[in-house]
Structure formats: C-alpha cells, structure tokens
C-alpha cells in the first residue's frame, strides 16, 4: 500500500485547492511546498500587486476629491508602511492556506519534492509513495539575457524592495509591465515603459490597446514603443538602460517584466518519465493527465492560460473527478481576465481581430465616454466598452472594457456570455442608472468598419 492516494507538489492556488478538495472527499493526501503557502498569487503576485495598485490609485483619488469640494493635503507616500501592511495581510493568508489544508486532513510538508520514480518522491530527504501525483509547481519570472541583466529587478524583487525607485524603466508590455508601470507612476516615480510592439498588451483587442496607450500617457508614463533594451549598466547609485534606438535611460531601477516560465527544474521529472516542452512546460490535455497516466499537472506549470482562477478551477475539477465521483473538465473557452492597469482593463471572449478571422460575420458595438466622476474632477480619463456579436446567431461572444471598475463589471458579463446570451438579451436587460455598467445594455449603434 502506498503512503498516499494523492501527493500534490506545490502549495499554490491550484495545488492547495486540489489537495484540500481531494482530502475532503476522503483521499489520503500529502502536499509539499518549499517556498510559501499560497504560491505566487498570494505572496508575489495577484494579492500584493493589487494592494500596490490600490495604493497608487489613492494618490489620484485624493486629487480628484477636490472636484467634489474636499481640500485634502497630500504629504507624500510611505513605501515602507505599504510594504509592512501588505506583509501582514500576506502572512495572514499564508496561515489560512496552511490551516485549510490541515483542517481538510491533508498532511503538509514544508519541503521540496522531487521524483525518485513514477510513484516515489523525495520530500525534504524523506521517501514517500503515492498512487497519483499532481504537479502544481507554478512558474517564475524570467528576465532578458542581455549584458548587465544582473542589475535588473524582476517582479519578486518589487514586493520586498526597501525603497520605491524614483525613476524606473519597466521592460515589456504584458500584464506585469502595464500593472507595475501604473503602480510606480501612481506613487510618483518617473516611469518609462519600453516595449517592442507598436502598442502595449499584445494579444488584447486593438481598440483597448490604443486606449490603454493613451491612458498610460495621461498618467505621466513615458512610452518607448518599438524598442528593446540591449544592455543594462550600473553606475554608482543609478542604473542605465540602453535601448535598441540608442536612447539611454538613467534610472534607479530597470524592471524586467518579460514573461514567466514553468517551474520544472529540480523535479527530476526524467525519473518518472514525464515529458517537458521547450520552455519547461508539462503538456496536458483538458483531463490534466501528463504522458504518464497517474501523474497530472495543472496551473502555470502547464503554461496554457496562466491565471490563478484557472489553476484553482483545474485543481477543484481534478479532485472531484478522481475522488468525488463528479468527473468534469474546465473549459478555457470564455475565461474572463483583467489587467490591473490604471484604469483597469477587463475582457472575456475573442478580440475583434480574432473574431473577424474565425467567424463568418461579426457586429461590433462600441462606446467611449467620460465617466460621470470625471465630469467633476476634470481628469482626462475615458472609458471604453465594446461588445462583439456573432452576426449569424446574435450571440454576444466578446466583451472588452478599459475603465474604472472594469474587472467588477466584467465578471457578471462573463456569466451572461458563458450562458450564451444574445445581443437581444443584453438589449432587453434594464440598466442600473447612473452607472458605467449600464452602457453595456444600452449599446444600440453598430460600429461600422470602413
Ligand atoms: P506576458 O507574457 O504577459 O508579457 C511579457 C512581455 O515581455 C511582453 O510585452 C513581451 O513582448 C515582452 N518580452 C518577452 N520577451 C521579450 C524579449 N526578448 N525582448 C523584449 N520584450 C520581450 O508576461 P508577464 O510577465 O507580464 O506575465 C506573465 C503571465 O502571468 C501573464 O501572461 C498572465 O498570464 C499572468 N499574469 C496575470 C495577471 C492578471 O491576471 N492580472 C497579472 C500578472 C500576470 P511581446 O508582446 O512582443 O512578446
């Protein structure tokens, strides 16, 4: 008899959910985490990042309040107070994750696990055997292999930085780059955003990308499109980022936000016969099974859709399938996502460009307006909302928004879209007035592309 029915490697969002639910179904579960319970999201990702975005937003909110009659004196921002408050909340969440597992009856190991053979793991020097094994080890940030790269920071470093940089060059224009550019600029740093595309956020809807670039400039961020850094140097107190167009940016921090790679090194996957791809990712289908039938992988280590709620949904579905007599797979078709830029972006379904390529006919409904709040603040900030409709079936297949509260609004729209709502369903829904969200149910004029 094996020591465990299920052993989960990795105590991040996906691994913890899988272990907890499987243990709740009565399986004998072990779970190992070498770094921190809650993984990237809780410790060096979504949660502390969102606190930082909120901190950055308060500065502008204090300014905006003047438009409503407030006279607020801003005395500057205390970075160390923010980091301390964030640390307190993160350690509270660490404890919750541990306790959730213990209360569910899982055995937890604060240790690194690696394969000895297909059913045996070395967990912190101890051998354990398991009928089934789940790899949920997540990913890590990767910088650029350019001269002087060792002088640059990655996202993990920001969360423990002793000081806020006063001048920063953010490299990349994906989720992390755009989010942290907003944080730095909002907290008062001179912020450069250096990216190789003509517009930020490759892969997102073009109208959103254009509107985002405008919003970034309005927030004081200096954009360097179509460029990449070729070298980083450190000279005394400062750092220099030399760009491909010859510009040299003199800053306090060069921040690589240039993507993440799966954590598979050190797992000794070869001993179990588990295949990995070129980026170290573990290939799985919707059933989350690797090429070894009793070994599974989920979340960022599979490098498909690297989002916390996808990993938790996968962990839950796998545990229910294996031990809960409720087999199911997670659909990655209409996964809503948000970028916590300032203002934020939220989206579900294909972009207009993707829909135009894959569908026979589409209709676009779009609106761009000044949100009510800014009628009084005078802040030049616009909201963009867009619906993509399948012209054949009238189904709404995509919704995109840049503007305040976009993530809060998009979650509900995602339910409607997953449920197959048509444009006529949107049209017969009564709006909530006055709100920005009501615009999504009052869009009547089709946007005609020439
Ligand atoms: P992304 O893949 O989103 O973006 C990487 C950025 O780095 C892109 O702008 C890319 O440019 C650029 N880049 C990559 N290689 C190079 C290179 N050699 N030279 C110049 N530029 C380069 O990665 P992130 O690090 O921002 O985030 C990783 C993932 O984590 C996200 O994709 C997302 O899945 C997840 N995440 C989700 C969040 C959320 O839900 N809010 C928040 C943060 C992360 P190009 O576009 O040209 O390839």
Total residues belonging to the chain? 450
Mean pLDDT of 228-249: 96
Two tokens, residue 315: 């962990």
- How much distance in Å is there from the Cα of 174 to the middle of ligand 1? 4
Other beta carbons less than 10 A from residue 374's beta carbon: 17
Q: Integer distance in angstroms from the first to the last C-alpha of the chain? A: 69
Two tokens, residue 56: 């950055």
Integer Rg of the chain from CA: 23
Distance CA(410)–CA(303), nearest Å, equals: 24
Enter the DSSP assignment of 151.
G
pLDDT of 168-202, one tens digit each?
A: 999 999 999 999 999 999 999 999 999 999 999 99
Question: Is 178 within any annotated ligand binding site?
Answer: yes
Element (H, E) at 123: strand 120-123
Instruction: Evaluate whether 113 touches 122 at the Cβ level (below 8 Å).
Output: yes
Mean pLDDT of 251-265: 98
CB of 279 sitting under 6 A from ligand 1: no
Closest residue CA from atom 48 of ligand 1 = 202
Closest residue CA from atom 25 of ligand 1 = 259
CATH class for the region spanning 343-447: alpha beta
CB of 27 sitting under 6 A from ligand 1: no
pLDDT of 400-428, one tens digit each?
A: 999 999 999 999 999 999 999 999 999 99
What is the CATH number that goes with domain 149-258?
A: 3.50.50.60
Closest residue CA from atom 4 of ligand 1 = 174
Indicate where the chain has its CATH 3.30.390.30 domain(s). Answer: 343-447
Sheet with 248-251: list strands edge to edge: 229-235, 238-243, 248-251
pTM, full prediction: 0.97
The proportion of the chain whose per-residue pLDDT surpasses 90, expressed as a percent, equals 99
pLDDT of 337-359, one tens digit each?
A: 999 999 999 999 999 999 999 99
Enter the DSSP assignment of 13.
H
144-155 in b/e form (b: 16+ CB < 10 A) is bebebeebbbbb
The residue written with tokens 């087999």 in the block is 327
Q: Assign domain 4-140+261-323 to its CATH superfamily.
A: FAD/NAD(P)-binding domain (3.50.50.60)
How much is the pLDDT for 101? 96
> What is the DSSP secondary-structure string of 322-371?
HHSS-------SS--EEE--SS-EEEES--HHHHHHHSS-EEEEEEEE--
Indicate where the chain has its CATH 3.50.50.60 domain(s). Answer: 4-140+261-323, 149-258
How much is the pLDDT for 236? 81
Instruction: With CA atoms as reference, report the closest residue to 200 among 214, 184, 185.
Output: 214
């Amino acid at each position: 008899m094996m020591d465990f029915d299920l052993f989960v490697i990795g105590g991040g969002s996906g691994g913890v959910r899988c272990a907890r639910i499987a243990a709740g179904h009565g399986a004998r579960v072990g779970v190992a985490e070498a770094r921190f319970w809650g993984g990237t999201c809780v410790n060096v990702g979504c949660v502390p990042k969102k606190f930082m975005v909120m901190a950055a937003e308060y500065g502008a909110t204090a300014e905006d309040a003047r438009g409503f009659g407030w006279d607020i004196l801003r005395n500057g921002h205390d970075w160390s107070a923010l980091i301390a408050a964030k640390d307190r909340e993160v350690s509270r969440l660490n404890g919750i994750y541990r306790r959730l597992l213990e209360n569910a009856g899982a055995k937890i190991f604060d240790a690194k696990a690696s394969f000895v053979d297909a059913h045996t793991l070395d967990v912190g020097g101890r051998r354990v055997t398991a009928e089934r094994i789940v790899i949920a080890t997540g990913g890590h940030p990767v910088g650029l292999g350019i001269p002087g790269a060792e002088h640059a920071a990655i996202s993990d470093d920001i969360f423990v930085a002793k000081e806020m940089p006063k001048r920063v060059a953010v490299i990349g224009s994906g989720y992390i780059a755009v989010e942290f550019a907003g944080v730095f600029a909002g907290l008062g740093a001179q912020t450069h955003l250096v990216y190789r595309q003509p517009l930020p956020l490759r892969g997102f809807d073009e109208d959103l990308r254009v509107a985002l670039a405008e919003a970034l400039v309005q927030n004081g961020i200096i954009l360097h499109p179509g460029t990449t850094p070729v070298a980083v140097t450190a000279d005394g107190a400062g750092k220099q980022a030399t760009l491909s167009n010859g510009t040299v940016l003199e800053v306090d921090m060069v921040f690589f936000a240039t993507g993440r790679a799966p954590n598979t090194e050190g797992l000794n996957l070869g001993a179990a016969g588990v295949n990995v791809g070129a980026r170290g990712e573990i290939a799985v289908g919707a059933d989350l099974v690797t090429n070894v039938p009793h070994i599974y992988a989920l979340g960022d280590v599979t490098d498909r859709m690297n989002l916390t709620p996808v990993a938790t949904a996968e962990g839950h579905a796998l545990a229910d399938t294996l031990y809960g007599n409720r087999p199911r797979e997670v659909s990655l078709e209409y996964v809503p996502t948000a970028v916590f830029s300032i203002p934020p972006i939220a989206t579900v379904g294909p972009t207009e460009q993707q829909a135009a390529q894959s569908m026979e006919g589409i209709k676009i409904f779009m609106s761009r307006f000044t949100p009510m709040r800014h009628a009084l603040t005078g802040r030049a900030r616009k909201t963009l909302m867009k619906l993509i409709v399948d012209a054949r079936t009238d189904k709404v297949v995509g919704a995109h928004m840049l503007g305040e509260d976009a993530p809060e609004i998009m979650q509900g729209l995602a339910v409607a879209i997953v449920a197959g709502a048509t444009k006529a369903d949107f049209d017969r829904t009564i709006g909530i007035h006055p709100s920005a969200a009501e615009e999504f149910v009052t869009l009547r004029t089709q946007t005609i592309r020439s």
